Amino acid sequence: MRTDYLFTSESVSEGHPDKVSDQISDAIVDLFLSKDPEARIACETLTTTQLVVLAGEIRCKGVYENGEWAPGAQEEIERTVRETVKRIGYAQDGFHWEKFEFINRLHGQSAHIAQGVDAGENKDEGAGDQGIMFGYATDETPGLMPATLYYSHKILERMAADRHSGAAPFLEPDAKSQVTLRYEGSLPVAATAIVVSTQHKAGYDENDPAKQAELEAYVKSVIADVIPPVLLRETEYFINPTGSFEIGGPDGDAGLTGRKIIVDTYGGAAPHGGGAFSGKDPTKVDRSAAYITRYLAKNVVAAGLATRCTIQIAYAIGVSKPLSLYVDTHETGTVGDDKIEQAILGIAKLGGLTPRAIRTHLGLNKPIYQPTAAYGHFGRKAEGDFFPWERTDLVDDLKAALA
């Protein structure tokens, strides 16, 4: 296993056009689940200059039943979309929360999909689609996430907080970051390159060197607060390398749900399954099974059974039992990977990892998804109903199963 290398991950801010789309899609998921915990949602969002379009398939008691919208439902959907964009901070000429055209093309779920997914007298609830999903954990950071992605997220989270508070009034919502770390002995020892491109108010660019220097100094101060000084001794900085980033967000580049899946997961440090997460209710295993595999991998590492762990699971549409479970501890395990697989499948509270068991164990049929749609689905703090897949409450069960 290679232990000395350079590795890079990137993140994007809540104002990136693809992330605007993700947040709108998950706001719709939350809206429907708040009305009906058994709602079915597959909501895709397109954002571009002064336009937001929703498309997809839904089923929700009290909102959309038998091909009909409930009174006021479409107005509530539009209000939810506009409030999401307003919260992000878009009130620009090219994309304004109050002024963009809104088109809703959501429609009823396919009856053929429903008959495969829904539970019946002689069958358990099946997976909402076929697919492969991956979970990953590493001991590089306290949250058991890859350090390159962890720092990429934290830089942009801090900048967004400063923008919202008024501490950095020259910032606009769209931004990207990228962190390259040098690893020795599989541990990060230096940040060799950091890239931050941030949308800004008029004038904070190469045409006004003083204001450009103010922006660069601010970004470097954020980086210095987020990344330990010991890692910043040989760093090359690239801050708004094009010179100007005034036009951004959906006005600068169209956004679509599900285009930032590596940002959503592990920054390229682990495989990704076949589907995105945002806009999907938890019967879709693209989402729920990715959460359970992260939960399992994190608990394996937290239990001291490995320093790195990748887990894959696979499903067939309409079938409740997973087709396969695969554990890889990358030669860092204290027990055999096959024994960890057997231990996981033998833990009764996990219910054989059926879609229904996953949703029940993690409590996924709740409106908890919009916060996942920016700054990563993983490595976040489990609080109340939110981010339950980040809990490490399976450690004792794994240790007991392997004793």
The domains of the chain are located at 5-13+146-247, 17-117, 131-139+261-402
When pLDDT is cut at 50, 70 and 90, the band that residue 109 belongs to is: confident
Query: Is 330 part of the annotated catalytic residue set?
Result: no
Query: Is 234 part of the annotated catalytic residue set?
Result: no
Of 38, 57, 78, 139, the active-site residue reads 57
Query: Is 286 part of the annotated catalytic residue set?
Result: yes
Query: Is 399 part of the annotated catalytic residue set?
Result: no
For the domain bounded by 5-13+146-247, which CATH number is listed? 3.30.300.10
Query: Is 386 part of the annotated catalytic residue set?
Result: no
Select from 3.30.300.10, 3.40.50.1100, 3.40.50.300, 3.30.930.10 the CATH code of 17-117.
Answer: 3.30.300.10
Query: Is 253 part of the annotated catalytic residue set?
Result: yes
Helix axis angle for 17-35 and 73-88, nearest 10°, is: 140
Q: Give the pLDDT mean for 280-294.
A: 96
Task: Supply the mean pLDDT for the chain.
Answer: 95
Into which CATH architecture does domain 131-139+261-402 fall?
2-Layer Sandwich (3.30)
The least confident of 1-5, 15-19, 351-355 is: 1-5
Place of tokens 């696979």: 314
Using CA atoms, how far apart are residues 106 and 59, in angstroms rounded to an integer?
Answer: 10
Query: Is 18 part of the annotated catalytic residue set?
Result: yes
Query: Is 201 part of the annotated catalytic residue set?
Result: no
Query: Is 61 part of the annotated catalytic residue set?
Result: no
Q: Please tell me whether the overall predicted TM-score, pTM, comes out greater than 0.85 for this model.
A: yes
Q: 10 Å Cβ neighbour count for 352? A: 16
Where does residue 151 rank: exposed (0-12), middle (13-18), buried (19+ CB within 10 A)? buried
Of 40, 154, 200, 259, the active-site residue reads 259
Of 36, 44, 172, 264, the active-site residue reads 44
